[in-house]
Each structure stands twice: as structure tokens, then as C-alpha cells.
Structure 1
Amino acid sequence: MAIPAHPSLVVYLGIAALVVWRLYSRVRRMVGRQKMSDRRTWIRIVFFSVLIAMLLLGSAVHPMHAAALLGGTAAGAALGWYGIRLTRFEQTPEGLFYTPSLHLGIALSALFIGRLVYRGVLLYSASGTAPNTFPSAEFSGSPLTLLIFGILAGYYVAYAVGLLLWRRRVVPFGPEIPQ
């Protein structure tokens, strides 16, 4: 006879499966050959810039949080420009392609996954404690989490800008390349 699963465990497993699937697709995208897409590149720039601005606005009352976010964003931007220098670009009859640096992609993915696992374990271990023992505001507003998010967001924005600059050099005023 099967033992019914606890509802919170089912929710955690469902969320974990979704996170693993998204991480897999993200890591695959960061380390493999990709077709250049202006639309996806602009979406990445706008999305991460808005997230940075919103987090910065939300952390304005905590100078350490804002400093961590800004410091991470600056470090990420520097990594993004370094990553563009390591990227292999291709112009083929099928379109424009680029292959990001394998080592940099793996390092950034490992940083992100490691922080997610740490926070997940922390959240799961805190779920059995008394309601006021683990303040949720502290959980979501950790300077280390903001630093790591800033590194990733700064990297994505700078890397995307670098991709657009490369594309403009290769196809300055020609017809739009099919996406």
C-alpha cells in the first residue's frame, strides 16, 4: 500500500523539478553554439536592467544590500566584456552564430546553482521552525544573494550589448537577418 505524500513535499518536488529543467536549459544555452537573435538579445538587456533597477530601488534603505548589488553588477559587466572577447563568432549563409566561453558559462552556472541549492536547503530547513524564527525579509534580502544576482545580471546585460555591437559591425546597415 502506498503512503500518501505530504502536500508540502509534493510542492517542493514540483518546484525542484521545474528549477532543474530551467537550469538545464540555461546551462545548455550558456555553453553551446547559438544563433544570433536581436529580439532575444534586447529582451535580455531590458529584462535584467529592469530587475537590477527594481532591486536597487528596493534595497535603497539598506546601503549594504545596494552596495552588494552594484558591486556584483560591475563585476558581472566586467565578466561580460571578458566573455565577449572569449566568444567565437561565425557568419554563415544560415545566419550569424556565436559560441560563448565554456569555462565562463560553467563557472557562472555553478555560482548560480550553488546559491540556489544553499538557499533551498536554508528555506527547507526553516520551514519546520516556529513562524517568527526565520524572518522572510532577511531571507530574500541577503547581500550575498544580491551580489551573486548582480554578477549574473551584469554579465547578461554586458554580454548582450557586446553581441549587438558585434552584429552591427558584421551587418552594419544591411537587411535584417532572419531570426
Structure 2
Amino acid sequence: MDITTLALLLMIPLLMWRIYARVKQMLARQQSLIWRHWMSAVFFPLFLAWMALTMADNILAVSCLGAGALAGAWAGHFSLQGTRFEWYGPRVYFTPNMRIALVVFLLFAGRIVYRGVEIYLGNHMSAQELMSQKDFVQSPGTVLPLGLMLGYCAAYSIGMIRWRKAHPADTGPELT
């Protein structure tokens, strides 16, 4: 085993731990800003539709993207039920359900790390030919976690918009 391959194998757990720590930090308590929710509610479905249109010739990829998006939307709805909300005067804060969000984001990050390892090993071992960029992007192993993440983010943002409209910030109890 080459020393660089050994170093890569030692770095992968550290990289995944860093991704985990960063995602966990992103999912901490945060202020609910309606413009952010709207931006996510518009951007993620548009990106999902664009991805589906670019893969229109590959039925399996579009099907996996759609299945991932549906599963992600279900997970987003389920995660919204476990979200904690807090009012501080006119400001609303929320803490997302950490477990569901971590699973969704780490599945996608794991796929990207897997691709990086595949490229590295393909360059150093030349045992097999690498997947082309198009094949990688349209492979079920990539579009399923991508659809899951996009569906989750879109559904969660839409749910947050609906929740904010049903619970205006100035009617919440004052916490001290």
C-alpha cells in the first residue's frame, strides 16, 4: 500500500468528522428570517427541476431524483414536526430536528467524498476506468442523495413559511 493511499484512508474519517461538525453547527438554533425561507423554497425546487430536465434522456436517473425528492419532502415534513420554536419579542428562533437533517446532509456529503476517493484511486491504481462526469451525475447513487437533500430543504423551507404565516412573531409569548 502506497503511503499516499494510507494517508488518504486516515484522512477520510477526519474529513467526515469535519463535515459532521460543520453541518451540526449549521443546524443549531437560528433566527427565522422569512426571506431565507422564501429563497430556499424557490431555489431548491427550481434546481431540482433543472436537474430533471438535464437528465431527461435517462429515465432511471430522473426516477431516482424524483424518488429522492419525495423521500426528502417527507423527511422535511417529519423534521418540521420536531422543530423547536422560540420567541424573543418580535424575533422568532428555531432549532431544526438535528438527527434527520444530519442524516440527509451526511448522505450527500458521503457520496461526494466517495467520488473524491474514486478519482484518487483511479489516478493512482489505474485498475479500472473512471466513470465519466455525466455518468457520475446521472448515477442512482448520486441523484438519490441529491434529490433527498433538495426535497428536504424545499419542504422544510415551505413548512417554515407556512408556520410563520400561521404564527406571527409579535403574538408569541415573551421568554426571559
TM-score of the superposed pair, with normalisation by structure 2: 0.78
Secondary structure of 2:110 counterpart: helix
Provide Cα deviations, 1:1-37, integer angstroms capped at 9, x if missing partner. xxxxxxxxxxxxxxxx9x997775443122x111001
**DSSP 3-state at the match of 2:99:** helix
Classify the secondary structure of the residue corresponding to 1:119: helix
Q: CA deviation at 1:110?
A: 2.5
Closer, same or farther: CA 47–25 of 1 in aligned 2, 3 Å: farther
Cα RMSD over matched residues? 2.9
The alignment status of 1:150 with 2:154, answered yes or no, reads no
Aligned counterparts of 1:105 and 1:135: Cα–Cα separation in 2: 29
User: Contact 1:27–1:109 (CA<8 Å) still a contact in 2?
Assistant: no
Name the SS of the counterpart of 1:133 in structure 2: coil
Q: 1:163 aligns with which of 135, 160, 163?
A: 160
Does the CA contact (< 8 Å) of 2:89 and 2:169 recur in 1? no
**1:20-59 equivalences in 2 (<5 Å):** 24-30=21-27, 32-59=28-55
Aligned partner of 2:72 in structure 1 is 76
Q: Return 5+ residue gaps in structure 1 as ranges.
A: 1-16, 175-179
Give the share of equivalent positions with the same residue, in percent.
30
The count of aligned residue pairs is 158
- Once the two structures are TM-superposed, the CA of residue 98 in structure 1 deviates from its matched residue by 0.6
What residue in structure 2 maps to residue 177 of structure 1?
A: none
Tell me the equivalent position of 2:100. Answer: 104
Structure 2 portions without partners, runs of 5+: 1-14, 172-176
Deviation at 1:67, TM superposition (A): 0.2
1:144 positional shift:
1.6
1:172 and 1:27, CA in 2 relative to 1: closer, same or farther beyond 3 A? Answer: closer
TM-score by length of 1: 0.76
Q: What secondary structure does 2:93 align onto?
A: strand
SS of the residue 1:146 aligns to:
helix
Contact 2:58 2:138 in 1 (8 A): no
**CA 1:60–1:129 in structure 2 vs 1: closer, same or farther (change >3 Å)?**
farther
Change (3 A) 1:94 1:26: farther
